[in-house]
Structure formats: structure tokens, C-alpha cells
Structure 1
Amino acid sequence: MRKKWSLLHVTALIFITQVTWAGDVKTEKVTLVGERIVEFIPEKYDVARTPSLILSNEPVKQGEIPADWTLIPRFTTVDGKANASLDVPAGTSLYGGGEVTGPLLRNGQKTKMWNTDNGMYRVDGGARLYQTHPWVLGVRPDGTAFGVLFDSFCKAELVTNSDKIEFKTEGAPFRTYIIDRESPQAVLKGLAELTGTISMPPRWAIGYHQSRFSYVPEARVKDIADTFRKKKIPCDVIWFDINYMDEFRVFTINDKDFPDPKRMNNYLHDQGFHSVFMIDPGVKVDENYFVYKTGKEQDVFVRDIYRNEFHGKVWPGDCAFPDFTRPETRSWWAGLYKDFMANGIDGIWNDMNEPSVFDGPGGSMPESNIHLGGGNLPTGNHLMYHNAYGRLMVEASRDGMMAANPDKRPFLLSRSNIIGGQRYAAMWTGDNEATYEHMKLSVPMSITLGLSGQPFNGPDIGGFAGNTTSDLWGNWLGFGAFFPFSRGHASCDTNNKEPWAFGKELEKESRMALERRYRLIPYLYTAFYAAHTDGQPIMAPVFFADPKDQTLRSEEQAFMLGTDILVIPAFAKNPSLPKGIWEELSLIKGDTKGKYQAKLKVRGGAIVPVGKVIQNVNENSFDPLTLVVCLDKDGKAEGSLYWDKGDGWEFQKGNYKQLTFKAELAGAHNLIVKMTDSKGEEQFDCGMIKVEVLHNGRVYKSSGDMAKGITVNL
């Protein structure tokens, strides 16, 4: 193998250096750093000029380069700006790039990597949004796949032409990682090995969330909570936008609207709700305001080119902005959360953290602003650190939440981030618009984020800006109930967008959609655990069901939920669907005939665990547990269930339960369903279990004790 690699290496270096006069840069080092993961380092790469905030750990050499390796990037510089490119094998379908508008299939697309407060995606036609993901997934015609990760968060443009991938930055040379494996799923596992995975969320975070800019005062919040419970519409979280603050000062709560926030949050908790409060980075310039006063005393704020404290206008007026590149600043910021969360606050929402500056150039800071750095981060200008600002903020916020509530899993949502930032925060797709165009666009946007290492994501269901019609709401929630992050949100100048706000018919449809989600909580929670352990998307493209089927490669209406459920929105017209056995799934009486309900289909060979209808995840899902079985062509099926306490860290010590179920025909008409494996120390009694077998368009039912096996007569 050494001799084969030596020849390949020489060939590669000849290719890379043959036109160095045109700006090409030699590859200085090529290293295998994982199973079919190769690191390419260009000449003059300097970690002090291009530090990594993308990788979860510094890669370690793990052996020799595979003898059959052919994917070799080319490094160039243009006017001192570093670029990299990779020739694409013929017929390859390209995906990724993170938070993007446009089609799921990214062949022939350009994406600008410059995190921007882009309301309604109108700046540059949505070519740049709130996040940066310098990553491309390529799927060859035979279903094998590769991925390219450019380890730079600098201002850049990602070009994904069918014959070449190009990453053009305005910064210094950077490392590039290429993963080449047998399937797109295996490539995403490799990406997770490089950039990390989401932390296991608290179970309440995968329920339905209700938000508005803003729910005030306290009486309004209680009315929203009471109405959900009175109307028996499932919901777990109520959100608090900036109007809860005292004149938009972060880490304050105005005592006019919320005289006793702890009392209010206790009320929500008693009703089975959790609360999430917004925290922006802009700190109001006010010498009598404790956040600004302590920040100034500790010299934590970003400076302008003249080394003066930079001020820019955001919601509170003139603001200073924490320099999160400094470890001291991150520690100061984290320390602000203890007293704030002591009000009974459960989750945090970091917004405006591109950072958005109303009177700044391009809606942000001047690129010449100075970040002092520290630790492994060098001093640099804002051009260098702009895209990483939100990533560093959520790291500090998560540290503060952990310190404030060490026995609870933090839930943190961010608008701005970079790839790798999924380790710290979930994300939503920013300030979209109440249009059918944005409704349809939300599907490929969320799928693409899942293909770019961020599985915990979703849009503002119903649209944030503009009034929402009843038809738009019904269509959107009908499939939006199956986004990994499922939240309705609305701007302050729009109509009410709660599930009951559009009349009795839509209230019934909304209840049905959310009851379907809540019946699937056991399945969803299991999918989140898979995302946590190996980086698999929770919402995936339909071609994941059959990567070799090229007719599925551009399908962006239907999507996979986990590995076993196909979701077909009501708006979908002639979607391309995977071949094979797919049986229709009904979870709520009448859902298969609901005007706005997405069609759900179960993959042949799957066993899907579902619970009963509950109003929030604090209630018992398993009364009873139902196993939905869909047999493959050989009359077999298999599935799993992961469960733990839903919060805290005991699952890391083995206090969880992971069950494996199998079904197999015994004779022509008898199906035996039994548990074949049980892992973890959590005490878990399913009790009486129901089995529903979907077979040739019919449903066959039985029940029994899983320890003895359950027989279903077909």
C-alpha cells in the first residue's frame, strides 16, 4: 500500500503544482484522519491566521491514505485570497451549503458565506442568509458519496457547478477535509466525526413551540397557555421575544408586564409548559445598566479600528457588542445567565447575532473592527471573525446555561452560526414570509441543513412576516408538525397565528396535525438519539431511502422523517417517491382524509414505535406503546426505541433503555413480534403493548406482553 500511495502522491503533487505560476499553491501535507477521511493542508497554512471553530477536535493521523483515493483538492490564491476547488466526478448530485434558499439539488448554484440579517430572504435574493456551512455532499450515480469540508469561516463564496466545487475566500489558506464512503449516510457520519453532533435535547424541546413577537403582558401569556389546554391542542413551549425586556436591555425583565416572572414561569410549568426567552448580543450603552457597566469595567466589548469601543444601533438604541473571541468575555457573558434563569426560565433564544447592526455597513459591523482574541484565537478584524460571531456567542450562552442549571440539558436556539455550531445550539431559518413560496421553500431549506450537519432545525411555521391566511396556515402546519424543530412564530404587525386563530375547521386540522406529532414522540426521540450519536439527519431527502435511484435526487416536496417514515405534504404535486413497499399510516381518526394533513407512509421492513395522544411530553406516552409494523417482501421487519428520563445526564451513565424489536412470519398467516435486544439500565416497563401491522392496504391488530412475543393473525 505504501508504494501505491507513493505513486499516487507524486501524481497528485504534479497535478497540483503544474501551473503554480497561475496562482496555484502546493499541498504541503496529506493525512488520513479517519475512516476514508483525508486532510489536505496547503502550503503557508497557519493555524494562527485560520483557527478552526468548525472541528470538534484536532484530527489525528490514523494510517495511510487509501490506495484508490482520487479526490484531491486544488489550492490557489488570487490577490492574496485563499481558494480551494475539487473536480466533481461525472453525474454527481451535489447538496449542502447549509442555510440556503433555492433548490435542494445544488448543482449550478452559488452561495455567499457572509452571515446576514436577511428579513424575508430579500438581500441578494437569499444568496446569503444567517449561517455559514462551507460543506458539500456529493452523491455519485451508483449511490456512493463524498463530502468536502472547507475549514474556514471567513467571508467566502461557495460555487457548486456540476463539474467543479469551488470555495473562494477573502482570507488566509485553510485546511480541506474530504470524506469518501459507501453512502451519503456514511459520509454524514464522517462529517459528525469531524464537527461533532447535537447534544441530546431535553424531550420538551421536541414538542410543539408557540411564539410571537411578542406575547405580553403576563395575562396574555397565561391566556395562550390556558387556551392550548382548554382546546386540547398539544404544545410544550411558549416563547418570549424582546418585548419582555426593560427597554430592550438584555438580561432584564420589565416589571410592568411581568411583575413576578418566577410566578409566571411556575404557572406555565404547572400547566405542562416550558418557557424560552430571547437574548441578543447588543448591550445598551447606559452607564447605569449593570450589563453595560460590568462589561465596560472588564473591557469586553468589540473595538473599532481606532481601538475605541464600537457602538452601533439595534433595538435599544446605541449598543456595545461583546467580543466573544476573548475567553474573558465568554466567561463574563456566561455569568450573566445564572440570575436570569433563576426566574424559572427553561431555554434561551440568541437572535440578531450575525451580528445585526441597524446603522452599520451592510447591516453589521465595519469589517475593520478589532477582535482581540485569546486562547487559541488570534487578534483579527471583523472580516475574519464575522461569520463566527454567533458561533462564539452560543458557546458562551450554553456555558452559562450549564452553570446555572447543571442538572438540566440546555435548550438553546440561534439565528446565526457556522457548521460545527450544532454542538451548542439548534437553529431556525430566520425571518421568512407568510407566502406559499416560503412555505414550499421551507422543505429543501430544512433538508439541506440536515445534510450539512445541523439536524435540529425548522422554519417559522405560518411565516414570520406578513399576514397568514387560513389556507396557508393549514397547509404549512399539516407538514410543519414533522419538522425536527416545530414552532409557529409571527411578527408583531401581523394577524394572530395560533392554531385556533383561523376558525373551527382549521382549529380541528391544527389539533390533528399536532396530535400526529405527539403520537410520534417515541419515534422522534429515537431519531434525535441517532442524530446525537452519529450525526444522521432527522428530516432527510427521499433519496436516502434509495441512494441509487436517480429519479429521487431532486425531490424537494416530500421528505423522510427518520429512516422509516415518508412525509408527503398536502401541497405536493407529483412528487418522486421511493419504490418498494410503503404502507399508509393513520395516527388519528380521519387524518388520512384531512384536507391539510400530510400523507404518512411507513417503509417496508420497519417497526415504528408510537405513543398515545398527549398534551405535553411530561405526560406518559406509553399507555400503551404501539408498534406499527410494515413487512418487507420477505415478511420481516425491525425497529428500535430509545428512551430515557427526558432531561438530565443520567443517560450518559447508562440510565437509558434502547430496545430492538423484530417481526417475522411463522407460517403463511401468523406474524410473531418480539423484543430481541435490550440495552441500558433504565427501569422501563412497556406494560401491555399494541401491535398494528400495515399489510396490503389493511391494518391487522393484536396486543400482548412483549416478553412472550405477540402473535398477529394476517
Structure 2
Amino acid sequence: MQVETSSSKYGIKHYPDAIREWKKEGNYFCFYTTETILEVRVIADKIIRFRYAADGTFQRDFSYATSDTLEESPIVFGIKEWEETFEIYTDALKVFIARDNLRITITDKDGKVINQDEMGFHWQHYLQKGGKIVYCSKLVQEEECFYGLGDKPTDLNLRGKRLENYGTDAYGYQKDTDPLYRNIPFYYGLHNGIGYGIFFDNTFRTIFDFGKEREDACSFWARGGEMNYYFIYGPELLDVAASYTRITGTPELPPLWTLGYHQCRWSYYPDSRVREIAAEFRKRQIPCDVIYLDIDYMEGFRCFTWSKEYFPDPAGLIRDLAAQGFKVVVIIDPGIKVDPEYSIYQEGVKNNYFCKRADGALMEGDVWPGKCVFPDFTNPEVREWWSSLFKGLAETGVRGVWNDMNEPAVFEMGTFPEDVRHDYDGEEVSHRKAHNVYGHLMSKATAAGMKKYLLPNRPFLITRSCYAGAQRWSSVWTGDNVSSWEHLWLASIQCQRLAVSGLSFAGSDIGGFIGEPDGELYTRWIQLGAFHPLMRTHSASNETGFNQEPWSFGPDYEKIVAKFISLRYELLPYLYTTFWQYATHGTPMLRPLAFVAQHDPATHNCTHEFMMGDALLISHVSEEGMKEKAVYLPQGQWYYFWNDTVYHGGQQVTVATPLEEMPLFVKAGAVVPRYPVMQHTYETPITEMLLHVYYGDTITQSTLYEDAGDHYGYKNGQYNVINFKQASSTEQFMLKKKYFVNYETTYSHHRIILHGLPFKAGTVLIDGEPLTLTAEHHLPDGTISFIADRGFENITIHKA
């Protein structure tokens, strides 16, 4: 029988007893106790899945998180029997399973402990609501740090925290508010230079305790479902991130314009106001690609309609905006107004598409349109219907959709009652199991519809709520934040955390959604937002009629804001390359310093500094009136972006922070591709690609990825991957290039801008052809600038 010990308000806790038998089938290993079954599945040499059947019967093996393309590819694996344990081994790991209680210890090949059960798996009956509460507790290793869990607005290192996943409309949330909008049950552990991850794939309310209750124990549990988790070994944290994204899926490449600047407000209406906003951007020469329409574009807040008063000719408006280089994104919420004259409501009722209560009554609740019903997105037939509704928006010219209120949020009630029923792809469950995937599946259906009707163009989707794996089809933002300096700091933390939780395509409401920033706060937020994958200003309507556009704070602030938005556009080829790396390899676009220098303990609690891609290190200004800032730099050499001062890493340095600058560093040896200044991503064909090359005396690799920036030709090989290698010394500069080229660019040459050359340059050799440097090649800022054909393979500069 099971070992029964301590009791709580939920009843007796049950623990597995001794293993009675075991069997192996392919890459599965099953261990049987009196009642509990442990299934160990070797996914890859560094990915092991653990799954427990508490009462001897496994539930349906089904996941909304895992990718359809996940392949099981262990190279070497097997099992050994010892007196006290079983040992499952791979080419990278050893998994020891105790014979007397199923407790697990995982080591590397050399026997170093990576992760170890404390009490391990246990469970208890959920007497109040049915089912089981399933637990797993692990020992906290010496000096262990924890990261991940999505959008939690708290310290980057989660040690000492207890947090839960239960999607919540957290309007005006503050530091340490929990839970929040997203539900990402994945975390990292780091100790003794060893990184690993645990993905607990369970959609019920899940709780994670990182040593808060007991300092030596890390626990995670769910109020229903199975104990089913993936263990992911690094040992490098970035390798863990890539493996997690392998499990939950990588995104498609977004259209290039989505990496430009987005302007949003609750709400821009009528259409004349939208035209005014667009005209101001072009008149003031502030780059912008996207304008959003919030709920007021609809007829009485009815989804998939247009207000006859405010937007009498939406297709004409969108066509005119497109001629100026703007794309339009519209909001769609899940609440469908109860209105017998409303066709969407009629269809949903007729076909039984809306969620129902346990007694069979429709789930009704008040949202923006008044009384609403809500589609059951866990039903594949409903998802297909929902996708079909986007045909009209796509034909009108809408290029992107913004899913909001999909935790789901309901006025007064907060969210759905737990007795609401869901199809759950044929399983029929209560809202307890479906809550955390409701917005996830709404966004999946939305993305599918927009993709279908926008072909051959790529769609854009942004969602407020989701579950693990949503990066396959959506971007996210950090929700209804506040215009405050603390929230500026939180924006940086949350976007770093989202990135390492698989959701790199993320940003915050620049300036804060609630309240009114002053010019300094807005400017500093724009500076941070310029280095987030999603750059969007968004604000709420208010009694004063305050508008939050880049020119709203006077000409002095406008000039600096325009400078940073313009810099964002110059860096688009670098950002797009970084997104390609994320989409191809699963590496996060934003990287906390602990993820790029995990062997340096000084980085483990760094929150202000982060990397965007391989080369840029950012440390935003998050305090009012700050005149200088201390910045920690990892090992290596770093150029200060604004003046090319070189700093040695492995230490904290102090830099001045005038309002027109923010701490921004470039890794020595890097090649950073840049565009000329532009007003939107398709303003004119690019005639010249700038390559900013930063001298370094260690071998450094850089990459430039290129494609058409829209449509799906890249999936058929229509793209370029250009790899740069700098191998310079104090006597010679050398840059080599190798490339795969299958896309014809609009530019024919590169402008090389060389930073920090430590010696007087002699002749430049471009593929063996000499170029004599003259005064015109030496720029006032100390850089050297010259032209090279797009097809160059080798540039050498010898010391004069």
C-alpha cells in the first residue's frame, strides 16, 4: 500500500512505497509501486520526462504546450540496477531512482548532483473540489538561484519566493502582485555553475515555492491533473532555454514591420483622429509602422464590427494609412454581446459554441458590451469557427490582431466560476483545468484565422493571456501597468523573464497604461523600449484628455524620443537577425546577465543589465533625475555606444546618464548591421547596409540574417545567412565572411564603419584588392569608414 503520513486541511498526504517491478519499452521506463507508477521517458540526452500515476492509472497524455514537431532523439541510453537504486543513463546524464520510495537524483556523467528530490512526488485527495493535488519537492542546492515563470513582477532571482499560475486580470498591478496574466510553469535552477530547467506541464492552478516555506526545499504542485514534468539539463542556461523552446515550439518569423514602433491608445477615434495621429508622425519625422484601434472602433463593442459613426469607411482609412506606411492592428476580446440581432451571437448559440455552466445554462457575464457569452476555445470546432470570423477584418486591410481580456476577465466576477464546462478537445472538464489555457487557445485560433486570410503576408498577433508554448503564434505585453518609475524597472524585469520563459516577442506599455508620465519618465521608458522586441506606447483614456504620443511632452523631450525611435529603426537588421536566431535555435532575444555569464556569481542577481542578442548590453535608467549609473559588465571588452570608450569587463563601471543617453555597450569583436535612417520599414528600398565593426583581439562570431521581411518565401530557402568572423591582433585587423545566399537584396554594397582600431591603419585589402585610406575615410568620431561590395569575403588592415 501507499505510505500515508502527514495530514493537512486537504486530507492525508500519500507517498510512494517501494518499487515492486519495472519494465522498459523503447525509450520509456516504468516503475511500479503498490499504487503509484513512475514513467521515465528519455526525450533526448539532456531532456528527461517524469510522469506519475498516483493511483496506478495515467490520465490522457495530452498537451496544449508541446510542439507537434518535438522529436525524441536520445543517442545513448540504458538502465543499470544497483542495490538501492536504478540508474537510467544517457550520454549526458545519470538518473538514479530510489528503490524504496521513487525519489530521484540526477547527476552529470561525472556524478555531480544537478537536481535531487527532497520528499519527491506525493499527493492528496482534493476533498473540497475533487481530484488530487499533486506535489513534488526538491532539495535546494548550495547558493542555488531560480529564474523563469513568465511575467512575474518581482526580483529576477526567485529564491525565497512563492508564486502561482492562475491567469488574472491584474489591473494596476504592483511589484510582487501575484498571480498575473500569463501561466508559464517553467523555471531554471543554477548552482555551482550548473544550469537546468523544469517544465511542469499542468494547466490547473500551479504553485511554485523556491525556499519560502523551507529554505532547503523547492516545491511545485497543482490542484488537479498529473505530476508531469520535463527535466532539462544545460549545463549552460542558454542551452536550457533552447531545449525548452524545442519542447514548446519556436515561432515563425514576424513581418519586419512588427519590429518597428507601435502607437496605441484607449482609444483613437473617430477615423479623423487616427488620420491626425498618422499625419503628425510623418510631419515630425518620427518613425512609426503601426497604429492600434481599441474597443471604440466597434459598433457597441461588438467584436468583428465597425462603428458606423466613428469608422464609416474602414477599408478606405486603412488603405490611406497603408499609403503612408502604416499598418493597422485592431483589438478583439472574447466576450460576445448577448444580442439576438447580432450574427456572431446567433451563430454561436445555434451551434452550441459558447461556454456553459454545470447546469447547462450559458456562461454569462458583463464585459465592455454589457452582458456577454464566451466561446469555448478548448473545442476544436469552435476554434475553427473563430478563425473564420477574421476573414472580414483581413479583407478590410487589418494586418494584426490584439487579443485582450482573455484570462478570461469578467467584470464583478473577476473570471469564470469553476463550474463552467469545457470540451478540452474531447475530454469535457471544468474551468479549473481550462482556465489557464483559455486565452492561450483564443490566441491560437485568432492567429490561425489571420494567417489563413492574410496569405501570402505574415500575420501579427499580440495576446494578454497565454500558457506555455504561445510563442509559436503570438507576441505578448506586460499588461495594465502604471506610469511610475517602479513600473519602468518592472518592465525590464518582466521582459527579461518572459524572454527566458520562451516568450521573447514581448514589451511593456511604454509610459504606463494607467496614469500620466512626465517627460523624463516617458523618455527613459522609450529608451528601454527601443531594446525590447516589441516597442509599443499605450495609454488609457483619462479625464484630463492627456495624450501620450512622442511629441506630447514638448520639443526637448520629443527630440530625444525621436532619436531613440530612429535608432531602433537603424538597428532593425540586428533585431531581425536576433529574432531569426530565436526562431531557429530557441535562444532568447533578451538575456539576463546570469544567462550569458553564469560562472560569474556577480551576475546572478543583476536585474538592470541585460543583453539584446549577441552584441548589445543595455542598462536602462530607472530613477528620476539620475545623473550617473553603475553598470556591471561581464568578462571581456565593451565599447560604450555613444563615444567608443572601451571598458574591461568582470567589474562594475560608472557612466554618466544625461537624458539624451542611456547606458548602452557593444561587445568587442562584434559586427552590428544597421540600416540608414527611415520613417517606416518599407519607406524606400535599402541601398546600403551599414556594418559597424568593433575591433576586438579575440576571435568573435557575428551573424546577419536577411529575407523579404514578409511572406513565407524564407521557408522555401529564400533568405541569406551571412556569418562574420573577426580574428584581429594588435598588429592586424581581419574580418572574414561566409554566407548562404538565396535572396536578392536591394543593396549592392556594405559601408564598413570600423570602431576602435588600436593602431594607425595602412592599406585596406578587400579580397586582396588594395584600398588606400584617405582623410575622407577617417571620420571625426574616430571611426574609419569605407565601401565594400556585398559579396566581399575578406578584409584585412595591417598596421602602418
> So what's the TM-score if we normalise by structure 2?
0.82
Q: Classify 1:373/1:136 alpha carbon distance in 2 versus 1 (closer, same or farther; 3 Å).
A: closer
Which residue pairs with 1:600 in the alignment? 664
> Are the counterparts in 1 of residues 16 and 122 from structure 2 also a CA contact under 8 Å?
no
2: distance between equivalents of 1:211 and 1:24? Answer: 59
Match for residue 596 of structure 2 among 533, 536, 545: 545
Letter in 2 for 1:610: R
The Cα shift of 1:594 comes to 5.1
What is the alpha-carbon root mean square deviation over aligned residues? 2.5
> Deviation per CA, 1:23-55, whole angstroms, max 9, x where unpaired?
998452112102310011112486656731111
The verdict on how the C-alpha distance between 1:699 and 1:691 changes in structure 2, with shifts beyond 3 A counting, is farther
Which residue, out of 733, 750, 756, partners 1:671?
A: 733
Cα distance in 2 for partners of 1:183, 1:25 equals: 37
Name the counterpart of 1:9.
none
Aligned to 2:783: 700
1:148-187 mapped onto 2 (5 Å cutoff): 148-161=198-211, 163-187=216-240
Residues 694 and 544 of structure 1: CA distance in aligned 2, closer, same or farther (over 3 Å): farther
Q: Secondary structure of 2:151's partner?
A: coil
User: Could you tell me how far 1:694 is from its partner in structure 2?
Assistant: 2.5
Q: In the alignment, is the contact (CA less than 8 A) between 1:402 and 1:410 conserved in 2?
A: yes
> Given the alignment of the two structures, is residue 329 of structure 1 paired with residue 391 of structure 2, yes or no?
no
**CA spacing shift, 1:542–1:175, aligned 2, 3 Å:** same
Map of 1:28 onto structure 2: 38
Q: Does 1:576 align with 2:632?
A: yes
Q: Return the offset for 1:405.
A: 1.5
User: Which residue is equivalent to 2:289?
Assistant: 236
Question: Deviation at 1:273?
Answer: 0.8
The residue number in structure 2 matching 1:482 is 531
Tell me, in whole angstroms, the C-alpha distance in 1 between the residues paired with 2:73 and 2:751: 50
- Between the aligned partners of 1:410 and 1:587, the Cα distance in structure 2 is 39
**2:412 corresponding residue in structure 1:** 359
Asked if 1:691 corresponds to 2:752, the answer is: yes
- Max radius of gyration: which structure? 2
Q: Which amino acid aligns with 2:158?
A: R
Letter paired with 2:756: H
Aligned mates of 1:19, 1:459 — CA distance in 2: 50
Equivalence map 1:365-514=2 (5 Å):
365-374=416-425, 377-493=426-542, 495-514=546-565
Displacement of 1:586: 3.7
Structure 2 contact 697–727 (Cα < 8 Å) conserved: no
Alignment partner of 1:681 is 2:742: yes
**Partner secondary structure for residue 85 of structure 1:** strand
Pick one of 64, 85, 107 that aligns with 1:53.
64
Q: Secondary structure at the match of 2:751?
A: strand
**Residue 640 of structure 1 corresponds to which residue in structure 2?**
703
- Equivalent AA in structure 1 for residue 198 of structure 2: V
Cα separation, 2, equivalents of 1:190 and 1:689: 35
Question: 1: distance between equivalents of 2:475 and 2:469?
Answer: 11
* Distance (Å, rounded) in 2 between the aligned partners of 1:47 and 1:378: 14
1:143-199: CA deviations, max 9, x gaps?
x31000001111121112264332121112131100112201111111011100122
**For each residue in 1:361-381, what CA deviation from the matched residue of structure 2 results, as whole angstroms up to 9, or x when unmatched?**
xx001011111333xx41000
Pairing 1:24-423 to 2, within 5 Å after superposition: 26=36, 28-44=38-54, 48=59, 51-57=62-68, 60=72, 62=74, 63-64=76-77, 65-66=89-90, 68-69=94-95, 70=106, 71=115, 74-79=120-125, 80-121=132-173, 125-142=176-193, 144-161=194-211, 163-360=216-413, 363-374=414-425, 377-423=426-472
Q: 1:577 to 1:82 in 2, by over 3 A?
A: same
SS at match of 1:479: helix
Task: Measure how far apart 1:705 and its partner are.
Answer: 2.0
Question: Which stretch of structure 1 is more off in the superposition, 559-568 or 681-690?
Answer: 681-690
Q: Would the alpha carbon gap of residues 421 and 585 (structure 1) be closer, same or farther in structure 2, given more than 3 Å must change? A: same
Give per-residue Cα distances to partners, 1:655-706, cap 9 Å, x unaligned: 00111122333x755423342x111411236423222223279743132224
Which shifted more, 471-480 or 298-307? 471-480
Which whole-Å CA distance do the structure 2 matches of 1:113 and 1:85 have between them? 17
Q: Can you list the C-alpha shifts for 1:394-424, whole angstroms capped at 9, x where unaligned? A: 1111111122122111110000001111112
Corresponding pairs, count: 687
CA distance in 2, matches of 1:448, 1:183: 17
Q: Which secondary structure state, in structure 2, belongs to the residue aligned with residue 554 of structure 1?
A: coil
Query: TM-score when scaled to structure 1?
Result: 0.92
1:604-619 alignment, distance < 5 Å:
604-619=668-683
Q: Is the 8 A contact 2:249 2:472 kept in 1?
A: yes
In the aligned structure 1, how far is the partner of 2:633 from the partner of 2:437? 38
8 Å Cα contact 1:50-1:173 kept in structure 2: no
Q: Distance in 1 between matches of 2:392 and 2:371?
A: 25
* Aligned 8 A contact 1:27 1:40 in 2: no
What percent of counterpart residues are identical?
A: 32
Q: Deviations over 1:432-481 (max 9, x none)?
A: 00011101111111100011111100110100001111111011112211
Q: Distance in 2 between matches of 1:705 and 1:575?
A: 36
1:653 and 2:720 aligned = no
**Code of the aligned partner of 1:274:** K
Taking the aligned partners of 1:365 and 1:509, their CA distance within structure 2 comes to 45
**Structure 1 residues 180 and 606, CA, compared in 2 at 3 Å: closer, same or farther?**
same
Q: CA deviation at 1:72?
A: 5.2
1:324 Cα deviation from its structure 2 partner: 0.8
Report if the CA contact (8 A) 1:674-1:710 is conserved.
yes
Q: Which amino acid aligns with 1:56?
A: S
Q: Does structure 1 retain, via aligned residues, the 8 Å contact 2:356–2:421?
A: yes
CA distance 1:587–1:268, shift in 2 (3 Å)? farther
Question: Larger strand proportion, structure 1 or 2?
Answer: 2
**Matched residue of 2:396: which SS?**
coil
What one-letter code is carried by the residue in structure 2 that aligns with 1:409? R
Taking the aligned partners of 1:233 and 1:183, their CA distance within structure 2 comes to 41
Separation in 1, partners of 2:202, 2:660: 43
614-623 or 208-217, which moves further after superposition? 614-623
> CA–CA distance in 2 between the matches of 1:138 and 1:242?
42
Checking the alignment, whether the CA contact within 8 Å between 1:704 and 1:710 is kept in structure 2 is no
Instruction: Tell me: CA distance 1:289–1:603, structure 2 relative to 1, closer, same or farther (3 Å).
Output: same
Q: Residue 255 of structure 2 contacts residue 458 of structure 2 at CA under 8 Å; is this kept in 1? A: yes
Deviations 1:567-615 (A, max 9, x none): 1213374232213200122499xx9975143222111232111121111
What secondary structure is seen at the aligned counterpart in 1 of 2:172? helix
Aligned residues of 2:52 and 2:58 also touching (Cα < 8 A): no
Gaps of 5+ in 1: 1-14
User: After superposition, what is the alpha-carbon deviation per residue over 1:238-260, rounded to whole angstroms, capped at 9, x for unaligned?
Assistant: 00110101010000010111110
**Inter-partner Cα distance in structure 2 for 1:46 and 1:443:** 44
- Separation in 2, partners of 1:592, 1:338: 52
In structure 1, distance between residues paired with 2:72 and 2:622? 48
Pair 137,621 (structure 1): closer, same or farther in 2 beyond 3 Å: farther
Q: Counterparts of 2:697 and 2:53 in 1: how far apart (Å)? A: 54
Output the amino acid matched with 1:404. Y
CA deviations 1:466-521 (Å, max 9, x no partner) are: 11111110111122111111100000116211000000011001001111111100
Report if aligned partners of 2:154, 2:176 keep a CA contact under 8 Å in 1: no
- Judge conservation of contact 2:485–2:622 (CA < 8 Å) in 1: no
Mark the CA change 1:585 to 1:687 in structure 2 (over 3 Å): closer, same or farther.
farther
Instruction: Give unmatched runs, 5+ long, in structure 2.
Output: 1-14, 21-32, 78-88, 96-105, 107-114, 126-131, 624-628, 645-654, 759-780
